[in-house]
């Protein structure tokens, strides 16, 4: 192939004529020659020859097939492309389309753009933020495609993987949690409850539960939770194994609000009283069902002489928690016995009059009201509890007298205040001053 100088216009024209008349261009790699020939053709000054203009347009068209026209929108990319339709009646035509890709390069959407057949393909693309649209243009034609930013952000937000909520047993524990252990324990429990009779399912779950510091992050379904609670009493464990399993299940985020009360009841039936005491002394939220269960446990501890002081301390801890009277009344009727209700009423009356328990006096009075409304008829039918009924009645009468006295005092105070406001002499006073008369000595 001959070599021509690049600084002569005639030589450049000769190059163009030779290339235009030669048929060997189709056999050359267009990707290799497009950049060099495009720069060469762009440096040719405008000439009168129409042949040179056609040649220049042809090269620009061929080179544009490998030039990707795109623009960025938020973190995504909008790419312009063209292809031949698959329909037989549209052979020889080109259709223009837009592809929307996410930051990882995956295609989110594709849209065909109506474009005139006689017009060149779009050479530029731009996102118009004020109109929220993508504009495709060439020398004489443009098209706009709406693209809502809010919808795009929502799609990207939904495609991102969401981390499971973290659950901390203590804010003072700064040791990092092993996410692999959490995942393995949760997966082992899920595999077990999905097929409890599968060989090795419980063995794998028991192994994960026995690991020191085991933890899991993931809630089981209600049916799965109840299946696990029904399965544990059927197995035989040593006291150390049972304590570790109950503590791990309590620390994990496996039982929901509806099943956690049943879990505490299971721990109580298995004599895991240390776990119940730790729950009472903690700041964990308790439902009325769990609160009624713990009240029955503390009443039993108060009834025993060796643990009466510990029971009163736990009762004071429980009274610091808020509860709904109606819901607690329903749960107390199911979880608290009549004998234990009488013990709780007596202890609450003593706590109410103790000066050091003034912070929980209001809650103690509320619990007395709930237990009296719930177990009033049962206490009357129990002959050995009549003294409790009499004591409660006297306490109520004294409280009623005190409340009546306070109401009378408040009424008298309000009347006195009103009289002082109505008295016109309260704002100013008038006094008559008499000066003594003395003769003047001249």
Residue 224: which H helix or E strand, with range? helix 222-231
Tell me what pLDDT residue 428 has.
65
Instruction: Determine the Cα–Cα distance for residues 323 and 329; give it in Å rounded to an integer.
Output: 10
Tell me what pLDDT residue 438 has.
67
Q: Compute and round to an integer the Cα radius of gyration of the chain.
A: 44
Instruction: Determine the Cα–Cα distance for residues 178 and 376; give it in Å rounded to an integer.
Output: 53
Instruction: Summarize pLDDT for 25-58 with one digit per residue, the tens.
Output: 333 333 333 333 334 334 444 444 555 555 555 5
Instruction: Determine the Cα–Cα distance for residues 349 and 369; give it in Å rounded to an integer.
Output: 11
Domain boundaries, the chain: 9-64, 69-159, 179-269, 285-412
Tell me what pLDDT residue 170 has.
61
For residue 247, which of 281, 210, 297, 217 has the smallest C-alpha distance?
Answer: 210
Which are the contacts of 317, defined by CB distance < 8 A and separation ≥ 6? 280, 281
Instruction: Summarize pLDDT for 344-384 with one digit per residue, the tens.
Output: 999 999 888 888 888 888 899 899 999 998 998 888 888 88
Long-range contacts of 37-46 (CB under 8 A, 24+ apart): 37/63, 38/63, 40/6, 40/12, 40/15, 41/16, 43/12, 44/9, 44/12, 44/13, 44/16, 45/9
How many C-alpha atoms does 308 have within 13 Å on its Cβ side? 7
From residue 144, alpha-carbon distances to 107, 125, 127 in Å are 20, 10, 9
Tell me what pLDDT residue 4 has.
32
pTM for this predicted structure: 0.51
What token pair was written down for 268?
A: 């109580």
């Amino acid at each position: 192939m001959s070599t021509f100088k690049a600084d002569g216009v005639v030589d450049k024209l000769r190059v163009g004529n030779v290339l235009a008349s030669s048929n060997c261009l189709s056999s050359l790699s267009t990707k290799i020659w497009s950049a060099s020939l495009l720069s060469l053709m762009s440096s040719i000054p405008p000439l009168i020859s129409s042949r040179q203009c056609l040649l220049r347009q042809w090269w620009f068209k061929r080179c544009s097939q490998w030039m990707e026209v795109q623009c960025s929108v938020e973190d995504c990319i909008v790419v312009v492309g063209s292809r031949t339709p698959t329909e037989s009646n549209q052979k020889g035509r080109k259709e223009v389309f837009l592809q929307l890709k996410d930051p990882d390069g995956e295609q989110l959407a594709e849209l065909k753009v109506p474009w005139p057949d006689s017009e060149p393909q779009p050479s530029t693309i731009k996102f118009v933020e004020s109109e929220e649209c993508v504009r495709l243009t060439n020398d004489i034609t443009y098209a706009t495609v709406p693209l809502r930013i809010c919808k795009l952000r929502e799609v990207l937000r939904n495609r991102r993987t969401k981390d499971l909520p973290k659950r901390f047993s203590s804010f003072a524990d700064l040791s990092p949690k092993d996410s692999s252990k959490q995942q393995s324990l949760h997966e082992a429990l899920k595999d077990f409850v999905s097929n409890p009779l599968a060989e090795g399912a419980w063995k794998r779950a028991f192994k994960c539960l026995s690991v020191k510091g085991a933890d899991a992050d993931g809630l089981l379904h209600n049916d799965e939770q109840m299946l696990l609670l029904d399965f544990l009493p059927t197995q035989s464990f040593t006291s150390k194994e049972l304590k570790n399993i109950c503590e791990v299940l309590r620390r994990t985020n496996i039982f929901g609000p509806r099943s956690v009360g049943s879990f505490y009841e299971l721990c109580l039936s298995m004599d895991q009283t240390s776990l119940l005491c730790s729950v009472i002394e903690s700041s964990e939220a308790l439902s009325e069902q769990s609160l009624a269960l713990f009240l029955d446990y503390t009443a039993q501890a108060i009834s025993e002489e060796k643990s009466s002081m510990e029971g009163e301390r736990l009762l004071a801890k429980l009274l610091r928690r808020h509860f709904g009277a109606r819901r607690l009344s329903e749960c107390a009727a199911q979880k608290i016995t009549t004998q234990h209700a009488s013990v709780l009423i007596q202890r609450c009356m003593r706590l109410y009059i103790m000066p050091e328990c003034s912070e929980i006096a209001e809650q103690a009075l509320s619990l007395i009201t709930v237990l009296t409304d719930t177990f009033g008829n049962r206490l009357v039918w129990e002959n050995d509890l009549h003294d409790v009924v009499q004591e409660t009645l006297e306490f109520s009468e004294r409280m009623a007298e005190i409340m009546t006295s306070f109401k009378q005092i408040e009424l008298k105070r309000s009347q006195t205040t009103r009289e002082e406001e109505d008295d016109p002499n309260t704002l100013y006073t008038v006094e008559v001053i008499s000066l003594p008369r003395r003769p003047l000595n001249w």
